[in-house]
């Protein structure tokens, strides 16, 4: 299956460092573009005793902080050690700033979304979308996979079959850091509310975690598949067991992963809640990068979806319908109905 090749220069804040605590940058969502050039600077949040509940899930509800991590995964066998570079964006709530300043974990926590980039992509290309998710009250971690990221000298797309276990490893490591009494993620993550999302090959990765017998991740609360497909090298059975709520997003003019691939997944999923967002005239990458149309549509529909099915913040189906149905631009359907 043909894939999009796009080499990008990844920010130093994404790749540098060992262990955790690479760099931290506190930004408002609208400052994200400017923040890439300032990623070498460390900004310390101002502690405050003010406490507020998780908000209604709108982009911009929280300023966003970033923290880079490098995790070593002992995969065993021929895979050996896998180095996973991870950038975590998280709501910079005042209560969490106070908790870190005093070195104590905070009882309040946010749902976790782990994002898988496409082939020869690095997480930085999706910065705008992921920052909006974080600003709406989610901890968002994006992984640079060891053999398919934008800086890999000898890329190997067949390594995709190992990427679900990379995502599982990152979920476990981030959960462990949140459970610690000290550190930048102390008390930040609600480990009982985990979703996955991915684009292209990353979409193939996460849909396998939700719906393929080889790679199913127990307890997954939701999955977002952006221009994904059934990767043929995964062995087992698709959609043989109940799935978490799933949102498939697809550009109608995508020639890399054509609409038929997403439609196959959407219509095969007869065991759970499912949505399909059709983006008229959109291609493979543009809907998920930058802030130009139709990316704002994708951002709002995905936030509403996560707010309902991951954060349990109430019925957002009306909001999803309003955001996802625009004449000649986008059409949102559910339950197997065709767009």
What CATH number has the domain bearing residue 210? 3.40.50.1820
pLDDT band at 54 (very low <50, low <70, confident <90, very high): low
Average pLDDT, the chain: 82
Q: Kindly state whether residue 215 falls inside one of the protein's structural domains.
A: yes
pLDDT band at 121 (very low <50, low <70, confident <90, very high): very high
Q: Kindly state whether residue 228 falls inside one of the protein's structural domains.
A: yes
Residue 224 near residue 305 (C-beta atoms within 8 A): yes
Q: How many Cα neighbours within 13 Å face the side chain of 204?
A: 21
Q: Kindly state whether residue 274 falls inside one of the protein's structural domains.
A: yes
Q: Kindly state whether residue 257 falls inside one of the protein's structural domains.
A: yes
pLDDT at 270: 83
Q: Kindly state whether residue 305 falls inside one of the protein's structural domains.
A: yes
pTM of the predicted model as reported, rounded to 2 decimal places = 0.83
Rounded CA separation 325/59 (Å): 19
Share of the chain above pLDDT 90, in %: 71
Q: What is the pLDDT of residues 154-209, one digit of tens each?
A: 999 999 999 999 999 999 999 999 999 999 999 999 999 999 999 999 999 999 99
Q: Kindly state whether residue 90 falls inside one of the protein's structural domains.
A: yes
Of 172, 146, 170, 171, nearest to 159 by C-alpha is 146
pLDDT at 269: 83
Least confident of 13-27, 42-56, 139-153: 13-27
Quote the domain boundaries for residue 169: 12-334
In the three-class reduction of DSSP (H, G, I as helix; E, B as strand; rest coil), residue 98 is classed as helix
Rounded CA separation 273/61 (Å): 27
Rounded CA separation 189/125 (Å): 24
Q: Kindly state whether residue 6 falls inside one of the protein's structural domains.
A: no
- How many structural domains does the chain have? 1
Q: Kindly state whether residue 1 falls inside one of the protein's structural domains.
A: no
């Amino acid at each position: 299956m043909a894939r999009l090749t796009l080499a990008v220069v990844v920010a130093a804040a994404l790749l540098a460092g060992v262990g955790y605590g690479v760099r931290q940058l506190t930004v408002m969502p609208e400052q994200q573009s400017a923040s890439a050039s300032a990623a070498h600077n460390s900004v310390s949040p101002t502690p405050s005793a003010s406490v507020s509940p998780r908000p209604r899930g709108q982009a911009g509800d929280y300023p966003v902080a970033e923290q880079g991590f490098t995790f070593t995964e002992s995969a065993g066998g021929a895979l050996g050690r896998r180095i996973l570079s991870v950038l975590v964006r998280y709501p910079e709530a005042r209560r969490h700033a106070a908790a870190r300043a005093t070195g104590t974990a905070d009882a309040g926590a946010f749902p976790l979304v782990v994002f898988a980039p496409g082939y020869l992509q690095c997480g930085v290309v999706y910065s705008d979308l992921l920052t909006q998710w974080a600003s709406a009250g989610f901890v968002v971690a994006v992984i640079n996979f060891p053999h398919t990221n934008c800086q890999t000298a000898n890329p190997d797309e067949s390594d995709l079959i190992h990427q679900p276990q990379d995502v599982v490893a990152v979920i476990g490591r981030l959960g462990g850091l949140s459970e610690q009494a000290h550190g930048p993620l102390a008390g930040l993550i609600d480990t009982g509310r985990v979703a996955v999302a991915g684009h292209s090959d990353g979409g193939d990765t996460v849909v396998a975690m939700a719906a393929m017998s080889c790679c199913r991740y127990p307890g997954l609360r939701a999955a977002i598949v952006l221009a994904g497909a059934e990767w043929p090298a995964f062995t087992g059975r698709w959609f043989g067991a109940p799935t978490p709520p799933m949102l498939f997003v697809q550009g109608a003019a995508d020639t890399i992963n054509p609409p038929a691939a997403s439609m196959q997944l959407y219509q095969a999923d007869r065991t759970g809640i499912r949505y399909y967002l059709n983006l008229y005239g959109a291609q493979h990458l543009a809907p998920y990068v930058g802030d130009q149309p139709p990316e704002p549509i994708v951002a709002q529909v995905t936030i509403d979806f996560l707010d309902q099915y991951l954060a349990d913040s109430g019925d957002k189906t009306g909001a999803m319908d309003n955001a996802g149905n625009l004449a000649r631009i986008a059409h949102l359907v559910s339950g197997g109905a065709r767009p």
